[in-house]
Structure 1
């Protein structure tokens, strides 16, 4: 009871200060690291979930506290313990481009679902999922013509993780970036329920995630993201205005 009281008090203090406690899964990834830096610079408390203990120092240098959690093998109680006190969680993890179909299933789908289970158990309010453009093209077992073979299990896993969220007692948001690049972020994007295929720098994905976390109106939205002409704050405000 005393611990729960402290958690509630901490949330109240952060809310009054306009700050949050946010868990980021995949904290050593190329989207998560710039996201953590942005959130830490704004004064948020960030918990970075990593699978490899060797990544703890990097995550801490980015401004987060680190928790070693393997979302492919951990149980929900252990993950929920790492999320205690968090108002929001972000799933920015993934099996990676060199992984096979089995790991797409256990990480991109199973890991996302486990994080959602733990978020509900820990009392988090919000869940942001980094998905991918093109997931609807594989719905109902469809196989799009010309789709590279490794993309099929990836898109299917991402679609399954999106569908899982829709039944959750969480204010969820799905962000579907286009083709990811390592170009410097421009701070200008196209963000909408449906966008023409395109690319987007990972740094701009991180900036949009940070802005969505600040928005109180992003719950229940599925948004596609590519580079464009709108400043990130304006793009997020417009996409969440309805």
Structure 2
């Protein structure tokens, strides 16, 4: 009998978060997240996932702890995608920090963070806001990796909207290329259901290895 998980997703209304929620509910897992609008909550309910409505940037650690209490794992896929600095600070920086505090308060141990490849966009002209985004993401990765949580950081290559192939390249270091969001969500599904994968930073790119095989190859 397969083990079912209770998964809370920050960023559940985003493209990767929505795909992941659907894959988890299709598997039978219990899924909840945080959305900004009632219509997003209704849309998720139609696919079997529940959600709170609120602004992540406005919520305290105590409020977040009440939301995630009793869940097996928290997934953080929310992000500013290199927008205005204040949004990057609020979502990619402070949002993660408050989530870590909330997990401590709620006694939830497993945390999976969707980050970004550090060299993404290098060789191109990047404006100051995007450079700030990469700097914040790196500092957050460091903070998560130094926490006492049962953490996992996934750094996908450039995300694209196309059908997934079901095959990837996954490991401690990967070149920066591109990968379908559907394959990122499918990889997250496998990672969440492999508890032996913990306290690792894994980079993800398009490739030729079936996702389940790629995940198992990284089990220590």
TM-score (norm. length: structure 1): 0.85
Give aligned pairs, total.
Answer: 219
Look up the match of 1:148: 126
Match of 1:62 among 16, 26, 47: 47
Counterpart check, 1:178 vs 2:162? no
TM-score (norm. length: structure 2): 0.93
Q: 1:71, 1:115 within 8 Å by CA — same for their partners in 2? A: no
Distance in 2, Cα, partners of 1:40 & 1:64: 7
Higher RCO (C-alpha under 8 Å, 6+ residues apart): 2
1:31-82 deviation per Cα after TM superposition (whole angstroms, max 9, x unaligned) = 0011001111111111121133331112212321111232211111111111
Counterpart check, 1:114 vs 2:98? yes
User: Relative to structure 2, which stretch is displaced further, 219-228 or 165-174?
Assistant: 165-174
Match of 1:33 among 14, 18, 25: 18
Between structure 1 and structure 2, the one with the greater Rg is 1
Q: 1:128, 1:172 within 8 Å by CA — same for their partners in 2? A: yes
- In the TM superposition, residue 195 of structure 1 has moved relative to its aligned partner by 0.6
Q: 1:125, 1:171 within 8 Å by CA — same for their partners in 2? A: yes
Q: 1:69, 1:79 within 8 Å by CA — same for their partners in 2? A: no
What are structure 2's unaligned runs of at least 5 residues? none
Look up the match of 1:133: 117
Match of 1:81 among 66, 84, 94: 66
Stretches of 4+ aligned residues off by more than 3 angstroms: 144-147
Distance in 2, Cα, partners of 1:233 & 1:89: 21
User: Relative to structure 2, which stretch is displaced further, 212-221 or 67-76?
Assistant: 67-76
What are structure 1's unaligned runs of at least 5 residues? 1-15, 138-143
Look up the match of 1:205: 184
Distance in 2, Cα, partners of 1:118 & 1:84: 9
- In the TM superposition, residue 145 of structure 1 has moved relative to its aligned partner by 5.6
Q: Residues 69 and 122 of structure 1: is their aligned pair in 2 closer, same or farther, counting only changes over 3 Å?
A: farther
Counterpart check, 1:216 vs 2:192? no
Look up the match of 2:207: 228
Counterpart check, 1:187 vs 2:183? no
Look up the match of 1:163: 142
Distance in 2, Cα, partners of 1:147 & 1:170: 36
Q: CA RMSD in A?
A: 1.8
Distance in 1, Cα, partners of 2:53 & 2:81: 18
